[in-house]
């Protein structure tokens, strides 16, 4: 499905991003993965092998996405698609219920989850416009953006940032459609990643999750559950799809 494609994954050295990198390779793509942590970057190099390039950098810093795209062009001869996975919980900054939230927690959570998306998307759009070939962007949303879970997941800045990603993506999808630049969002439910350990290790939370995500016997999602849709939306098979938010949530949205 992705034969000859050259794809940059922001947040591609662990969890959902690393699983996607492996899936994209199986579909025939060459991959550049940007990760924040040197340890996970080293592991990703070992897993992904020769048909990939791994970089370490902070996605919230200007220039990191540009560097990843430049490396993709240098190493593999082009750049066709961006998958922005990087982001995370703002709990460590103080994100939580609104009445307990600080301005600092709000700002840092938005920087981590929204500003980073703007930077990678801007870099991608600038390149696609410059080469006049079109291209595909896929951003990471969350089921919490449209289906809250106040009992266990009351992180209001995170939910707001993920909802903003939906609006941002639809807006750029509309604006750049005439240039054949597509932009979509994949919105997972609770997925077992390093970020999700607070939830997956808590049986009370997991009882709730199994009710909200009843598919396949009721469980947390796994990173590979997102790979099929991500592959499709970055491929030419999705050439007439843009501005969409697609949930991969085991039924969360309808429960």
Point out the catalytic residue in the list 83, 158, 176, 208: 158
Phi, psi of 61 (to 5 degrees): -100, 135
Nearest Cα residue to 14 out of 52, 61, 47? 47
Length of the chain: 255
For residue 80, give every residue at least 6 positions away whose Cβ sits within 8 Å of its Cβ, in sequence order, or none: 5, 6, 7, 135, 136, 234
Does residue 158 have an active-site annotation? yes
- Give me the helix-helix angle, 116-131 and 156-176, nearest 10°: 10
- Which residue intervals of the chain are DSSP H helices? 15-26, 38-48, 64-76, 103-110, 116-131, 156-176, 197-200, 203-212, 227-233
Q: Which residues contact 160 (CB under 8 A, 6 or more apart)?
A: 110
30 burial via Cβ count (<10 Å: 0-12, 13-18, 19+): buried
Rounded CA separation 77/186 (Å): 27
Active site residues: 158
């Amino acid at each position: 499905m992705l034969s000859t494609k050259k794809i940059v994954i922001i947040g591609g050295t662990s969890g959902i991003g690393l699983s996607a990198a492996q899936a994209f390779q199986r579909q025939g793509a060459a991959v550049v993965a940007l990760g924040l942590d040197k340890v996970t970057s080293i592991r990703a190099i070992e897993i992904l092998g020769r048909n990939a390039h791994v970089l370490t950098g902070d996605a919230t810093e200007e220039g990191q996405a540009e560097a990843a795209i430049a490396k993709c062009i240098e190493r593999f001869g082009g750049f066709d698609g961006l998958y922005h996975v990087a982001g995370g919980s703002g709990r460590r900054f103080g994100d939580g219920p609104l009445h307990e939230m600080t301005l600092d927690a709000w700002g840092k959570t938005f920087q981590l989850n929204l500003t980073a998306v703007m930077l990678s998307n801007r870099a991608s759009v600038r390149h696609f416009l410059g080469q006049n070939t079109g291209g595909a962007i896929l951003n990471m949303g969350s089921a919490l953006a449209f289906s809250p879970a106040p009992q266990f997941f009351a992180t209001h800045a995170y939910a707001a940032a993920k909802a903003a990603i939906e609006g941002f993506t639809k807006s750029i999808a509309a604006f750049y459609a005439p240039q054949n630049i597509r932009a979509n969002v994949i919105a997972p439910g609770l997925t077992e990643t390093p970020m999700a350990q607070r939830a997956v290790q808590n049986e009370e939370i997991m009882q709730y999750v199994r009710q909200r995500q009843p598919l396949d016997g009721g469980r947390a999602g796994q990173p590979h559950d997102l790979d099929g849709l991500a592959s499709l939306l970055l491929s030419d098979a999705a050439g007439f799809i843009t501005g969409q938010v697609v949930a991969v949530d085991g039924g969360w949205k309808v429960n």
